[in-house]
Amino acid sequence: MSAVLKISNLHVNVGETPILKGVNMEIRQGEVHALMGPNGSGKSTLAYALAGHPNYTVTDGSIEIDGVNVTEMEADERARLGMFLAFQYPVVIPGVKVADFLRHAVSNIRNPDRKEGEGLIGMREFRKEIRERMNELGMDPEFARRYLNDGFSGGEKKRMEILQLAMLQPRFAILDETDSGLDSDAVRVVSEGLAKLSGPQMGVLIITHHERLLEFNPPQFTHVMLGGRIVETGDASLANELHANGYATVRARHPEAAAENAKAEAAAAV
């Protein structure tokens, strides 16, 4: 049975400001969904709210993973239920190597009740596993010995993201990809890596405007967000239309949401 990530009537505030105003979406394991929309429409807010970031307050509605209501759960509990968010701006942790970080992360997911310092997965077993995954992804084994995100290029940060996905094998992966500042190497790494990793066991929500990413990972569903709501849902052809024509036609079809989006953009620009 494939699990479902179900988002119902989700309202989210940042501080006092309502940002998401009733988002509905259902993602099944094995499906690829694209989330598009102009700046300030609430895409990243949805990603953070799904992951359980403490600054994003759910004021109404719910998030369920496979029938379990996770709306009030901490981020690590959600991760154990199979939710993964690739952060747009990953943290730098000098002094912690990629392999050590991943060994802890994988142990936390697989042995949810482990106490700090106990229940780490065996070194030998872990090394074998990470070597296999890196080999499948065509990654240099040296990468695992680097310090986490320390001096990483855009492409290397994306390699880290993909390696995390490969090791954690989440049921639901949310990738919030910036539309600026990603060089073509980085876009290629995510596009190809994700195409290798996605399959019947993983539901994917890709937030992006990059044509290449969606070309390699054609979405079954494309959602368009405007003013904190999903205003349209279609298939891959909707993504293609937006790539070709931008959001003018979407704004014209949804003037109220467009006006709210314009307000949010103006507020953000102050």
Ligand X SMILES: Nc1ncnc2c1ncn2[C@@H]1O[C@H](COP(=O)(O)OP(=O)(O)O)[C@@H](O)[C@H]1O
Residues in contact with ligand X by the rule CB under 6 A: 14, 19, 37, 39-45, 55, 264, 267-268
- Are 172 and 83 within 8 A, CB to CB? yes
11-21 residues labelled b (16+ CB within 10 A) or e (exposed): bbbbeeebbbb
| Smallest distance from ligand X to CB 35, Å | 9
CA distances from 261 to 5, 55, 62, 245 (A): 26, 21, 23, 18
Of 43 and 103, the one with the shorter C-beta distance to Mg ion is 43
Strands lying side by side in the sheet with 221-226? 83-86, 172-176, 203-207, 32-36, 221-226, 229-234
| Smallest distance from ligand X to CB 46, Å | 7
Cα dihedral 66, 64, 81, 2 sign: positive
In the list ligand X, Mg ion, none, the entry touching 222 (Cβ below 5 to 8 angstroms by class) is none
In the list Mg ion, ligand X, none, the entry touching 41 (Cβ below 5 to 8 angstroms by class) is ligand X
| CA–CA gap between residue 106 and residue 112 (Å, rounded) | 10
- Token pair of 48 as six digits: 């953070």
In the list Mg ion, ligand X, none, the entry touching 52 (Cβ below 5 to 8 angstroms by class) is none
In the list ligand X, Mg ion, none, the entry touching 268 (Cβ below 5 to 8 angstroms by class) is ligand X
In the list Mg ion, ligand X, none, the entry touching 248 (Cβ below 5 to 8 angstroms by class) is none
| Smallest distance from Mg ion to CB 43, Å | 5
| Smallest distance from ligand X to CB 13, Å | 10
**Stretch of residues binding Mg ion (CB under 5 A), selected from 4-12, 44-52, 164-172, 180-188:** 44-52
Cα dihedral 69, 56, 174, 78 sign: negative
Q: Quick check: 44 binds Mg ion (CB under 5 A)? A: yes
| Smallest distance from ligand X to CB 244, Å | 20
| Smallest distance from ligand X to CB 44, Å | 3
**Stretch of residues binding Mg ion (CB under 5 A), selected from 40-48, 96-104, 183-191, 209-217:** 40-48
**Stretch of residues binding Mg ion (CB under 5 A), selected from 10-18, 42-50, 150-158, 254-262:** 42-50
| CA–CA gap between residue 216 and residue 194 (Å, rounded) | 8
Binding-site ranges for Mg ion (CB under 5 A): 43-44
